[in-house]
Amino acid sequence: MNFLEEKIVTDGIVKEENVLKVDSFLNHQMDIKLFEQIGEEFKRRFSDEKFTKILTIEASGIGIACITARYFEVPVVFAKKSKSINLDGDMYTAEVESFTHKTTNHVIVSKKFISEDDKVLIIDDFLANGCALQGLIKIVNEAGASVKGIGIAIEKGFQPGGKIIRNLGYRLESLAIIDNMDSTTGEILFR
């Protein structure tokens, strides 16, 4: 088991409906030493890539993206969730269905912050069905920039997102891939 898998086993809580609660270290209270290990590991796995920007989505991707950015020395842009659709054309937009809240958000990124020469590393905390990633990929493509890598902390491998994104040809690195988890026993099986 790697450092993140160990942390998930110790402090993660398996909830019903395929939700893993990690709010004691990842997306409410944040364990910054762990985030540093995550950033370092992404840097190691993508050591052959030259990124110009990290893109993530609010809110829970932001912390990991910021610490990871220290290792790549690039700026972080986060897609904002917005109720209204901007009509004056200065934003890239995508629709993203929230896995945890079962609602649809418009996410927006100002055209000022991604340009066609950007080589983007997309970072997020979880990968489930892949909606968040597909929204972010759409935004990068609309900007004419390229997605050079995708870094995920926890992929739930029993849900379809990882397969969809890999089949599209993207370089996806997930630090912990869960193949099975059981809310009655609390058991977690990693790939």
The CA distance from 191 to 188, in Å, is 10
Cα Rg, the chain, nearest whole Å = 16
Residues in region 100-119 near ligand 5GP by CB under 6 A: 100
3-state secondary structure 90-155: CEEEEEEECCCCCCEEEEEEEHHHCCCCCEEEEEEEEECCCHHHHHHHHHHHHCCCEEEEEEEEEE
For the window 160-189, what string marks contact with ligand 5GP as x by the rule CB under 6 A? -x----------------------------
| Cβ-based nearer residue to ligand 5GP, 115 or 174 | 174
What single letter denotes the amino acid at residue 38? I
Of the candidate residues 7, 25, 27, 139, the single one contacting ligand 5GP (CB under 6 A):
27
Does residue 121 touch ligand 5GP according to CB under 6 A? no
| Residue from 24, 37, 52, 129 in contact with ligand 5GP (CB under 6 A) | 129
